[in-house]
Amino acid sequence: MSARRVFAAGLALLLGFASPAVLAHGHSAPKAEATGEKAPAHGRSAESPGSEIFDEAKALATSQAAIGRTVSDHAFRNTRGQTVKFSSYLGRPVVLSLIYTSCDHTCPLIVEGIARALEAADGELDPRGYTVLTVGFDTRVDTPARMRLYQSSRGITRIGWEFLSADASTIERLAAETGFLYKPRAGGFDHLAQVTLIDAEGRVYRQVYGEQFATADLVEPLRQLVYGQHEEATLIGSLVNRVRLVCTVYDPASGRYRFSYAIFFEIVIGAASLLAVLIFGIQLWRQSKTA
């Protein structure tokens, strides 16, 4: 076998060995279809005579179709009754949930799930690097005062988490843009249990589904937005963000994210292996020249 073929075979073996290990730490965000899509609030409307049946398949398709769509600069009212524009929250990723405050099961679970996931990521994601918005879509009830009471009753005190109200037309437009379907029913609403992640430019990036979604389902795409797209202007800051994105992993035992040094060992081993292949190839080449 020629020296060139030996070298090529060694290099191919090295790449085939190293690539899966490195990619395993890339932590691409989970696909939306795999995050518990069948979770409408309060069951099915069919149980309520005279109400329209909530079509879960249509709701999921509508939700997925919203990915990549830009959210308009809607006007809301915060818990102090002040008017705030959606654009004031951009420049960083947004975690958006639509709930109604009289919901006694699904909506509280969604809010608790968001709080749990973000608490798990606190050691790795700076809360100032993203915004959380919870919007009440039952416009007859979900006033600023009601949203303030709801926030207080749920014990939400995190920095950067706002509870907002809006008029009916604003809610309709926001729901359409984010792919959130809801239908009135006796005693409440049917809707998809959905959390929407929006990038720093206001585009829908990912949908997370389920009343009790896995922590990683929310945090992984949020990490991608914070460290992948919303980078600091300096080269050093950008490199630091890339390292954080690749080298932090979710630890189910502790329920938190931690820094993993495994990729550094993989890089060292990979570099040493590549160097060994290069040296071996050069030696074979010299031998073939002197033969």
Answer yes or no: do 62 and 194 share one domain.
yes
Answer yes or no: do 7 and 44 share one domain.
no
Answer yes or no: do 8 and 87 share one domain.
no
Answer yes or no: do 14 and 123 share one domain.
no
C-alpha distance from residue 273 to each of 3, 268, 278 (Å): 18, 8, 9
133: CATH? 3.40.30.10
Note the pLDDT of residue 287: 73
- Joined together, the tokens standing for residue 105 give 């099961």
Answer yes or no: do 48 and 105 share one domain.
yes
Please say which residue of 167, 185, 210 terminates a domain: 210
Answer yes or no: do 12 and 149 share one domain.
no
Residue 249 placed within a domain: no
Answer yes or no: do 9 and 75 share one domain.
no
Answer yes or no: do 271 and 157 share one domain.
no
Note the pLDDT of residue 257: 42
- Joined together, the tokens standing for residue 120 give 């798990």
Residue 219 placed within a domain: no
- Joined together, the tokens standing for residue 153 give 């009753």
* CA 242/CA 263 separation, integer angstroms: 13
Note the pLDDT of residue 284: 78
Answer yes or no: do 195 and 62 share one domain.
yes
Q: What pTM was computed for the model? A: 0.66
Residue 227 placed within a domain: no
* CA 29/CA 39 separation, integer angstroms: 20
Note the pLDDT of residue 286: 74
C-alpha distance from residue 270 to each of 7, 118, 187, 209, 279 (Å): 16, 34, 61, 38, 14
Domain membership of residue 286 as a residue range = 3-23+262-290
Please say which residue of 173, 195, 210 terminates a domain: 210
Answer yes or no: do 185 and 167 share one domain.
yes
Residue 224 placed within a domain: no
Count up the domains in the chain and report the number. 2
Note the pLDDT of residue 214: 92
Q: CA angle at residue 241 from 261 to 63, to 5 degrees?
A: 105
pLDDT digits (tens), the chain, 291 positions: 444 443 344 433 333 333 332 222 223 333 333 344 444 444 443 344 445 688 889 999 999 999 999 999 999 999 999 999 999 999 999 999 999 999 998 999 999 999 999 999 998 899 999 999 999 999 999 999 999 999 999 999 999 999 999 999 999 999 999 999 999 988 899 999 999 999 999 999 999 999 889 999 999 999 999 987 544 434 444 344 444 444 444 445 545 444 444 554 556 676 777 887 888 778 777 777 776
Note the pLDDT of residue 21: 28
Answer yes or no: do 78 and 196 share one domain.
yes
Number of residues that make up the chain: 291
- Joined together, the tokens standing for residue 125 give 């994601």
Q: Which single residue is written with the structure tokens 């988490």?
A: 161
Answer yes or no: do 126 and 184 share one domain.
yes
Q: What is the 3-state secondary structure (H, E, C) of the chain?
A: CCHHHHHHHHHHHHHHHHHHHHHCCCCCCCCHHHCCCCCECCCCHHHCCCCCCCCHHHHHHHHHHCCCCECCCCEEECCCCCEEEHHHHCCCCEEEEEECCCCCCHHHHHHHHHHHHHHHCCCCCCHHHCEEEEEECCCCCCCHHHHHHHHHHCCCCCCCEEEEECCHHHHHHHHHHHCCCEEEECCEEEEECEEEEECCCCEEEEEEECCCCCHHHHHHHHHHHHHHHCCCCCHHHHHHHHHHHHHEEEECCCCEEEECCHHHHHHHHHHHHHHHHHHHHHHHHHHHHHC
